[in-house]
Amino acid sequence: MIAASLPIHRHTEAKLLVVDRTGSIRHRKRSEFVALLRPGDLVVANDAATLPASLSGQHLRSGRSIEARLAGHRSLSPDDSCRFSAVLFGEGDFRMRTEDRPLPPAVASGDWLVLGPLRARVEEVLGHPRLVTLNFNGSPDQIWEGLSHHGRPIQYSHVPTPLALWDVWTSIAGPPVAFEPPSAGFVLDWQTLASLRARAVQFATITHSAGISSTGDKELDALLPFDEPYRIPESTALAIRRTRERHGRISAIGTTVVRALEHAAGLDGVVRAGEGLATQRISAASRLRVVDAIFSGTHEPGTSHHDLLRAFTDDTTLSMVDQELDEHGYRTHEFGDSVFFERNWDRSCSEEAILASQDPRPDTGRVMQ
């Protein structure tokens, strides 16, 4: 696929590949997204705002320059802003592909990094020379101030102009706890939310601390996604329950929503409100208990995001999708085109989902192009 190189959230020509529950594939415009949903459905999105997670500075002991990319934290508490896991890079900047960046200077626990106005101590090296836990000096307010002024959003070598924070914040961005944008959410603007409402489609949010999507280091990428804390509001848990009761479908905007909701669901498929730490990796073997459909960016085979789609459909369909995406010139990455997957009918596991699939109401969303 082609890399999308301009930071435009809602490209008017953006494409949307739709896979319905029988595995049949259609090409739509992304602007027609709302028409894929039915009255009574629920759309759930991630309202995390993106932190400026890339911090440049110096490794004090060696005097060498270093970039620390914050990659995760253990909780969403606003007072827990001092401790982050981070991936370290050596000299160079975003114009160099991450794959080509030199290793950082050798760091050991107890080393100090000076990152603009911030000072951070390496607490632990996590079994890989690039992956560490950092402990920032100062009060939570001082750390928020330092991050907000010195940090830059994580940049991409396929986007030639430096990204500003407003390029990577979705319209619904709230708590600044994501390390890379929950980019499927770029589809949502306030007009789209109004259109959902007009169609009697409910809307709810969760907060999920989306971690970095790729480090350019094969060994590290194999560990992705890292553990990610999330929070499910009471109102969202309630909206899910009510949607189930009326046999509506739950559509997740982005992989992070799937991860959080499926983690928060008990074996009974009931999503409980509160905070949790998503540790699971979703792939072909996963049984989805909550999410009936996913709206997502396009992902290349081999990535953890692509793997997650295997929980929605079989590998034969997925390889047909990959072929279609290539042949029809879909663009990939954060500002690219999109896919909408209904969970394949034979992957439905709950009684509600089976009932929903037999719903006799007219399905205006699935008119062929």
Partner 1 sequence: MTNNSLRNPLAGLRVAITGGTSGLGLALVREMLGRAAEIAFVARGREGVERVVRQNCRAHGIVGDVSNKDDIHPLAIQIVGALGGLDVLVNSASDLGPAPLALLGDTPCEDLERALATNVLGPFRLTKALLGALASSAREGRGGVVLNVSSDAAINPYPRWGTYGASKAALHHLSRIWDAELEGEGIRFLSLDPGDMDTPLHALAVPDADPSELKRPETAARELADAIATVLSDRNGSRCARSEAAKETPYDSRQLAHSSSHGSEVVGG
Nearest to partner 1 of 57, 104 (CB atom): 57
CB 186 to partner 1: min, Å: 13
Rank residues 164 and 277 by Cβ distance to partner 1 and give the closer one: 164
Q: Cβ 337 to partner 1, closest distance in Å?
A: 24
Q: Give me the least distance between CB of 76 and partner 1, in Å please.
A: 7
Nearer to partner 1, 149 or 272 (CB): 149
Q: Give least dist CB 205 to partner 1, A.
A: 6
Shortest distance, position 193 Cβ to partner 1, whole Å: 7
Q: Which amino acid is at 94?
A: F
Which residues contact partner 1 by CB under 8 A? 47, 49, 51-52, 76-78, 81, 140-141, 144-145, 147-149, 164-166, 169-176, 190, 193-194, 197, 203-205, 207, 233-236
The dihedral over CA atoms of 138, 142, 147, 148, expressed in degrees to the nearest 10, equals 180
C-alpha of 251 from chain center: 14
**Rounded (to 5) percent helix, strand, coil in the chain:** 25, 25, 45
Q: Are 48 and 207 in contact (CB under 8 A)?
A: yes
Residue 113 phi, psi (nearest 5): -115, 135
Q: Which residue, chain included where needed, has tokens 């028409």?
A: 35
- Is the CB of 80 or the CB of 219 nearer to partner 1? 80
Do residues 153 and 55 lie in contact, with contact meaning Cβ atoms separated by under 8 Å?
no
Q: What are phi and psi of 120, to 5 degrees?
A: -135, 140
Sheet with 25-29: list strands edge to edge. Answer: 25-29, 15-19, 338-342, 293-297, 250-253, 42-46, 202-208, 228-232, 274-278
CB of 148 to partner 1, least distance (A): 4
Work out whether the CA dihedral 318, 324, 329, 330 comes out positive or negative: negative
Minimum distance of partner 1 from residue 141's CB (angstroms): 6
Q: Which is nearer to partner 1, 307 or 334 (CB)?
A: 334
Nearer to partner 1, 198 or 285 (CB): 198
Pick 52 or 365: Cβ nearer partner 1: 52
